[in-house]
Amino acid sequence: MGATVALTGATGFIGGHVAEALVACGHRVRALARRDDPALRARGIELVLGGLDVDPASLLHDVDAVVHVAGAVRAANARAFHAINAEATGRLRAAAAAHGVRSFVLVSSLAARLPSISAYAASKAAGEAAALAHAGAMRVTIVRPPAVYGPACRATLPLLRGLSRGLLVHPGHAEARFSLLYAPDLAELVPLLLAHPPAHGTILEPDDGNAGGYTWRDLAATAEARLGRPVRTMRLPRPPLALIAWAAEGYGRYAARAPILSRGKVAELYHRDWVSDTRAVGAAAGWSPRLRFDDGLVATLAWYQQAGWL
């Protein structure tokens, strides 16, 4: 313990939890950030201001490990996704190997196992390939989280707010299954991977320990049991959502902005199997999650309320 770790994405949702877990384990963290963040500095984290095109030496000198969390979840087109999620990952991996870094952990996405489904998924799969290429003596580990939620997550706020108010409006098929993971549990996996790096090229798909994942009805039933109120479910049919995505893409091209919803994202939402394959996780790191969705829901709603988001 006490290694110097270069971290990307520390100002984001998952990266923020990873930063906290690394500091809690006694690591010295040097974080790449596009803007100054007093909260990170208050934790004793050294900031290197800039994007993924920053001079690698400023981030990687005297570093023992790299944890790469930063990436694009929205982009104007496939080329923009690839530039950030694949090309930038490859440059960082090459620079880390050149600086003698011993361990490289890439926090990818479960979508990477199905690259044909969307431009985002294809870029994450390409990013994994770039991270694994010509790593030399450096061990590269890939973590593919499923849907992640928890304190400070704005993406899942509407869904959890709906559950707390008794209405779950959801996309996807009724029989679709998906895994979930509480963000602090995901973050606790990272220091374990640095302390005990698995074999080079290991790909881990962690989840919250609920075998077979969840259905949307499972989430509603869990909220009913834990919050003490009935929860109705309302499924969004795919065609209207696809039409909205098509219009958003058109506006994005006109305004030169990343669309708020894409047809690729719709395809991801309506895919029927996003259940993690967890067989490699325990053997690689000795890790196990603390909270399943029932407790994670309560903890996250409590954080939202304390933060004034609910």
Distance CA(112)–CA(190), nearest Å, equals: 19
Residues contacting 259, CB < 8 A, separation 6+: 74, 76, 245, 248, 249, 251, 252
Distance CA 78, CA 200 (A): 29
Whether residue 1 is predicted with pLDDT greater than 60 in this model: the reply is: no
SS (H, E, C) 103-148: EEEEECCHHHHCHHHCHHHHHHHHHHHHHHCCCCCCEEEEECCCEE
Are the C-beta atoms of residues 65 and 104 closer than 8 Å to each other? yes
| pLDDT value of position 282 | 73
Tens-digit pLDDT profile for residues 214-240? 999 999 999 999 999 999 999 999 999
CB 100 within 8 A of CB 41: no
Name the strand (E) or helix (H) holding 32: strand 28-33
pLDDT in tens, 167-185: 999 998 878 999 999 999 9
Q: Indicate whether 147 pLDDT > 70.
A: yes
pLDDT digit string, tens, across residues 118-141: 999 999 999 999 999 976 789 999
pLDDT tops 80 at residue 158: yes
Q: What is the pLDDT of residues 81-120, one digit of tens each?
A: 999 999 999 999 999 999 999 999 999 999 999 999 999 9
Residue 274: pLDDT band (50, 70, 90) is very high
Please state, for a pLDDT cut of 70, what percent of the chain lies above it.
98
Residue 286 structure tokens? 């000795």
- pLDDT tens per residue across span 38-51: 999 999 999 999 88
The whole-number pLDDT of residue 55 equals: 83
The pLDDT of residue 283 is 66
Separation CA 161–CA 245 (nearest Å): 23
User: What confidence tens digit (pLDDT) does each residue in 276-310 have?
Assistant: 999 888 766 688 999 999 999 999 999 999 999 98
| Closest C-alpha to 103, from 12, 24, 32, 191 | 191
Query: Residue 248: is its pLDDT beyond 80?
Result: yes
Query: pLDDT > 90: what percent of the chain?
Result: 85
